[in-house]
Amino acid sequence: MASDANGSAVTAEVRRWRAGGWQPAIDDRIANETPVALEFNGIAYATMLATPADLEDFARGFALTEGLVERPSEIYGVDARDTPEGIVVEVEIATARAVALRERRRAMAGRTGCGLCGVESLPQVMRPVAAVADPPQVALAAVFAAQAAMAERQSLHRQTGATHAAGLATLAGELLCVREDVGRHNALDKLIGATAGRVEPGLVVVSSRASFEMVQKTLAAGHVLLAAVSAPTSLACRMAAQHRLILLGFVRGESATVYAGAERLLPAVG
């Protein structure tokens, strides 16, 4: 298989069965998935299956949303190196954060679609995150515009059909950034890593369902709304309501289901 320069996809020869017969062999694009090990100040923390692109963003976002650091300035450097087994991303963080990490060190083996593998205790799952401060009103039209714009920028998904996307938009619905990955949590971490400390709180739109951890990561990044193409989970709904996060599911075209914060959504004008 031949890989893209940025590692996001590979080319493989495939044969398709159509209309009762084989078609000639052709080259097809397949989403790249590889083990990515995250190390913080030499401490092995997590190994995730991820698309090996935007790995600096991934490491920064993961450190922030997992609570390993409190602010982007506590991340001093990120370096990725290839190994025969996968990619090791070495992250240098503030000494005080590394000391705290050693005290709470855990073994976590991540899989696509599973963001909590290896968590050792319930408090590690239910990490405290701040509620949305001074929640703004948001126009439904802004949410619909952001979701539509993100779909147009899912280039890797169009090539492979196998990736999720996460996008960040302003409160007015202007899309600022999109990241893609085979894992929905990874895509959101990459987005947060790419934008943390550089933009105002905004709207997060994702091409997946809205799990509890997706809500938790959105809150950890300080954003005010999470809009998903599919449904949320019960724990995601409860956490969003408790933390004043607007949560929408089934955002498709100009329709949506609101699970938390409906009173802060301005109706779309037909």
User: What is the percent of the chain where pLDDT is above 90?
Assistant: 86
Average pLDDT over residues 14-21: 94
pLDDT at site 116: 47
The residue from 114, 117, 177, 237 that is catalytic is 114
Round to whole Å and give the CA distance between 38 and 59. Answer: 7
pLDDT at site 5: 63
Alpha helices in 104-183 (DSSP H): 122-125, 140-152, 155-160
With 70 as the cut, is the pLDDT of residue 49 above it?
yes
Average pLDDT over residues 109-113: 43
Residue 170's beta-bridge partner residues? none
* pLDDT tens, residue by residue, 22-43: 999 999 999 999 999 999 999 9
Round to whole Å and give the CA distance between 49 and 228. Answer: 22
pLDDT at site 128: 86
pLDDT at site 112: 45
pLDDT at site 125: 61
pLDDT at site 107: 43
Is the full-model pTM beyond 0.75?
Answer: yes
With 60 as the cut, is the pLDDT of residue 191 above it?
yes
User: How high does pLDDT run on average in the chain?
Assistant: 91
What phi-psi label fits residue 54: left (phi over 0), alpha (psi between -120 and 50 degrees) or beta? left
Average pLDDT over residues 82-92: 96
Higher pLDDT, 122 or 239: 239
Average pLDDT over residues 217-240: 97
What phi-psi label fits residue 12: left (phi over 0), alpha (psi between -120 and 50 degrees) or beta? beta
pLDDT at site 269: 59
**Ordered structural domains, the chain, with CATH:** 34-124 (3.10.20.10), 138-266 (3.40.140.10)
Position 251, amino acid: V
Determine which helix (DSSP H) or strand (DSSP E) holds 250, and give its type and residue range.
Answer: strand 246-252
| Catalytic residue status for 177 | no
